[in-house]
Structure 1
Amino acid sequence: MEGKLTTIRSEIEKNLSRSGHNLASFSKICGLNRGSLSAILHGNPPKPMSLGQIDAIIKAFGFPDGWLYPLYIDECFNEEKVSRRRVEPFLIRCAELGKQQCIDETLSKLLEYPKSLDIVYSIAEKLFNKGKIDESMFFYKVVAENESDSYSERLAISHFRIFMSVKAIVDTDEKLRGVITFGPFRGRLPENMQLDGLLRLTQLCFDLRRWKQMEGFADELRALANAVYRGQLRTKEDRRREELSTERPLVVYYGHGYLLKAISLTKQGQYEEAKKYTAGYAELGWFEMLDEKGLEAVEHFRLFAKANSFTLEMLVGNVNVLPSYTAFLADNPGEILAGLITIMDSANRYGFSAESVLTRFSREMQRFEQYQEPNNVDRLYRLYYQVAMYRINLKQYNIGVDYIIQCLELAIRQNNGKDFINCVTLFETNRDYATVTQQDRYRELVKGVRKNEKITIDDGQRVSIV
């Protein structure tokens, strides 16, 4: 049907004739003024149609939404000008209806005009603010690809929106690409967006195990959160002050500035320094302007500080805290996976038995295999790697190799080249102890990677396996 259409007016006239309506009767059905309808169809020159008018005509004919949209594109352009009041709502509606071909054809014309990115960016923001996140991303990407001013705020915001829209990335290569692409634009954003962007960047660097880069972003986050907090205190009595628009309460960014700094130092082996920053988020009850969510965050930080204090003690070899740590994990199931990584790492470093801990949390370890969230998939890999080494150190080779193979599967799933190499190295070191079945499974996994060329190896600095 659409391929045979000539002009929007000839198609309307054709369907008017088929329906037996005249202008008077059809104007009543579609709700348009007869004079307006006549000016649209018979004016010299014809009066341009608004999107509302063409939608009313489509509905009156009983055709599907967007039926005449391919022919409406020309209504958005008049001689050497573009009609913003027509093209903007038109493209928004096309996005909502999934009319990608109409969007592509309209944009190919629109981008030839000066200041067209003003319109494209406005469309992206309006879709985003309506909750049409997926639909908005296409337009943000158009801005990101076509903006010539690398210091423009709309370019930075477009990159921010694209970066923040991807909530769950398992693929390591995609995580790295996100950091590299968005990172240079973080400082050009409004402060509220900077806070969200820095928090996400720091968390991705944790996933990538880029501890120095993570430490740098954590420093930026802490400094910015402090500055914003001081600014909020100065203006808290001013009723005209603009509310801070962030995804989370301000205390979350403040606390994470310390938490993520402490974690990055821990991963670099700077345990005493990490303890200082752990104290920075252990008690945030003094923080002013706390709403209900803020108070909940303060409680979470208290819990994190206690858990990470146990972690630091275990990592320096203080095995005496193991019973208390185990009891803490039993009382806080959400901390068990991370806690087991720490305990098994410490057991491998200092040679103590972790059998009682593995037995106590054996059911939880089985449930971990159901996790799909990227951070937990990565944690599961790190736990299994430590358990594999622990079993091999005890000469329990069959169990240890089973864990190596499970680690290999997780490394492939995450497209993590460094983890893949670590697994291959550990397996080859212990190949003589692997059963025929285990060797066959290992060979299948490696062949699959070779065939698909999937695994990516980035140049991140890996300080430790955990």
Structure 2
Amino acid sequence: MEITPKIKAELERYLKQAGLSMTGFGHIAGMNPGTVSGIITGNRTISVHQLDRITLGMNLPADHFYERYIEESVIDAPLNWKRISPFLYRCVQFQRVDCLQKVVSVLLDNLGYLPYLFALAEDCFKQDYREAAAYLYENVAEGEKQQHSERLAICQYRLFTLAIGKDQNRNMDAAAKFESFVHRLHEADQLDALKDLANVYRALSQWDKVYKYAKQMGQLGQVQYDLVHNSGRKEKEPQKKLSRPLFVYIAYAELMCANACDAKGDHEQALVHLQGYADLSWVKESDPDTLHWLGQFQRWAKINTYVNKLMSGDVSVLPNYVEYMAGEKYIFNELLNVIEAANRYNIDVDHILRRFEPQITAYQEVSSTDMYTQQFLPQQYARFWYKMAKYSLNKGRYSYGFKCLINALEKAGTINHVLLIANCAGLFDCFRAYAAPEILAQYHSTYQEVWKENDQKDGFALGSN
């Protein structure tokens, strides 16, 4: 077995080959010649800063000696967080998660390092080093699992956030795993976590869960709001910083509950919740951020009143709804509502589709790290094309209808939306007799691609629900 030379031996050999003195190398690397000499001739442990200087002076990649550094300065040396932590940050920075894992596995033998690793995980999370953050949170959570601590709950919240993406089955698993931890969080974190859980279940069309967690968010928000505005407690309990003004969680809970009721067909109860966020005269703040959100809820209340009436069967509001959405920048959700109503109540909306044809043609999915945008909008996009397919096929526009349906199937496959994939398959079967041979071939090819893409994923089965 070949013995790998130590870093200082590599440095010494380099100096000989390059014909450099320690002083000459020190000038090149920006190091004191005495430090260079001490590294080569002594037994001192090399610091991360010195390692950076050495690799720079030798014209090597910054992470060239990382594996050897772990052997010499972590495994074979007394553990010292002040010395090791800069190296861990370097591993994260250069995306050497393999090296990070080797060091962390050594540190985990001493549970006293968990708070330090948690702090490192938080820094990685804030700087969007997602793979490193997830690995650290998983290991801290494992170390904390018997403690039932708030830190464990935060780890699980972060892992939930990191797990959410376009794959709806994996999102379902992540949400289900996190549910039991949400109430262990500090109230401020809990408000955001309940909001995120409700949004994930909204994208999954799990309306009972949406209602449950939105309701809890609203109740907790109301308690906190009352505490903040109670003169006897106002100055005694400084609040952790929230991502939004406190009243927003109360109002947004009503919006989500209304959305859940509308989706389940209980439009009367939905209207009760809608009125809960339409009237926010009780809000005491008047800063610019508050005024912005008050305007947002006023706008949402107006447009969702139209939606509520439309989905209840009152098609007389359709012209006003269309005029209102014409002034909006993003209208895809509104178009989806129009198509949904058209299919449900057999309304001809061709004139509306023609009016907004440029926006439909030019529509592009929005790239975002926001949990709602990342999850909900791709699903809405797929649902829109499915509803468009249904509308067009029922009108006998088979060529365009099948084009929309294949588009919907592709999008549903991308996000692994099992129910929507099954609905696409069912709709195609209903109109299969009207499909030209080339459409049949294209549909079969698309369906096979969707199956291949998702067959390997745990818990996925085409046609299941």
- Shorter-normalised TM range: 0.7 to 0.9
> Aligned partners of 1:142 and 1:98: how far apart in 2?
18
AA of the residue aligned to 1:350 = Y
Aligned Cα RMSD in Å?
3.3
Deviations 1:168-208 (A, max 9, x none): x2221222122123222211222222222221111111111
Higher mean C-alpha displacement, 117-126 vs 314-323: 117-126
AA of the residue aligned to 2:341 = S
> Aligned partners of 2:438 and 2:29: how far apart in 1?
74
Unmatched segments (≥5 aa) in structure 2: 368-373
Residue 118 of structure 2 contacts residue 137 of structure 2 at CA under 8 Å; is this kept in 1? yes
Question: Alpha-carbon deviation of 1:146?
Answer: 4.9
> Aligned partners of 2:52 and 2:407: how far apart in 1?
56
> Aligned partners of 2:98 and 2:157: how far apart in 1?
26
Higher mean C-alpha displacement, 269-278 vs 113-122: 113-122
Among 336, 340, 350, the alignment partner of 1:341 is 336
> Aligned partners of 2:188 and 2:118: how far apart in 1?
19
Flag the 1:14–1:458 CA change in 2: closer, same or farther, 3 A: same
- TM-score where L is the length of structure 2: 0.85
Flag the 1:236–1:49 CA change in 2: closer, same or farther, 3 A: farther
Matching residue of 1:270: 266
Matching residue of 1:326: 322
Matching residue of 1:21: 21
> Aligned partners of 1:62 and 1:451: how far apart in 2?
46
Deviations 1:366-419 (A, max 9, x none): 223666655333223323333333334444444434433332222222211111
Matching residue of 1:361: 356
Matching residue of 2:371: none
Matched ranges for 1:220-369 at <5 A: 220-234=216-230, 242-284=238-280, 286-334=282-330, 336-368=331-363
Residue 117 of structure 2 contacts residue 136 of structure 2 at CA under 8 Å; is this kept in 1? yes
Matching residue of 1:125: 122
AA of the residue aligned to 1:76 = V
AA of the residue aligned to 1:380 = Y
AA of the residue aligned to 1:48 = T
- Aligned length, in residue pairs: 453
Question: Alpha-carbon deviation of 1:296?
Answer: 1.4
Matched ranges for 1:374-413 at <5 A: 374-413=375-414
Residue 284 of structure 1 contacts residue 298 of structure 1 at CA under 8 Å; is this kept in 2? yes
> Aligned partners of 1:382 and 1:129: how far apart in 2?
33
Deviations 1:410-451 (A, max 9, x none): 222221111111111111122122222222222222233444
Matched ranges for 1:47-58 at <5 A: 47-58=44-55
AA of the residue aligned to 2:89 = I
Matching residue of 1:464: none
Deviations 1:242-279 (A, max 9, x none): 45323333333222111111101111111111111111
| Identical columns (%) | 26
AA of the residue aligned to 1:317 = G
Residue 227 of structure 2 contacts residue 233 of structure 2 at CA under 8 Å; is this kept in 1? no
Question: Alpha-carbon deviation of 1:301?
Answer: 1.1
- TM-score where L is the length of structure 1: 0.85
Residue 15 of structure 2 contacts residue 25 of structure 2 at CA under 8 Å; is this kept in 1? no
Unmatched segments (≥5 aa) in structure 1: 462-466
Structure 2 residue matching 1:245: 3-state secondary structure: coil
Matched, 1:159 2:160: no
Residue 27 of structure 1 contacts residue 37 of structure 1 at CA under 8 Å; is this kept in 2? no
> Aligned partners of 1:413 and 1:65: how far apart in 2?
38
Residue 30 of structure 1 contacts residue 57 of structure 1 at CA under 8 Å; is this kept in 2? no
Flag the 1:379–1:49 CA change in 2: closer, same or farther, 3 A: same
Question: Alpha-carbon deviation of 1:355?
Answer: 2.6
Residue 418 of structure 2 contacts residue 464 of structure 2 at CA under 8 Å; is this kept in 1? no
